[in-house]
Amino acid sequence: MAYSEQEILAGLAEIVSEETGLPAETVLPEKSFTDDLDIDSLSMMTIVTLAEDKFSVTIPDDEVKNLTTVADAVSFIAGAQS
């Protein structure tokens, strides 16, 4: 099943909220994971793992560093769906 970018954004917001305690509505496409959401590398790896499970995609470790904003992650997940 392919998810829409809206569904991916909502799912990602839920994951980030669970991991960080931030309200899901603050997880917006233009937000930077590190600068705006204050997510460290360890939390980011947890978020990536949860997103992989939720959306049935694989996000290679060397790609994670390119996912600087929520929009980057949404685009990558949307493109990685088979």
pLDDT, tens only, 39-71:
999 999 999 999 999 999 999 999 999 999 999
Q: Indicate whether 31 pLDDT > 90.
A: yes
**How far apart (Å, rounded) are the C-alpha atoms in residues 24 and 81?**
23
pLDDT at 82: 72
Q: Which band of pLDDT confidence, cut at 50, 70 and 90, is reported for residue 76?
A: very high
Whole-prediction pTM: 0.94
CA dihedral 69, 73, 78, 79 (to 10 degrees): 100
Per the CATH hierarchy, to which homologous superfamily does domain 5-80 belong? ACP-like (1.10.1200.10)
**How far apart (Å, rounded) are the C-alpha atoms in residues 25 and 22?**
8
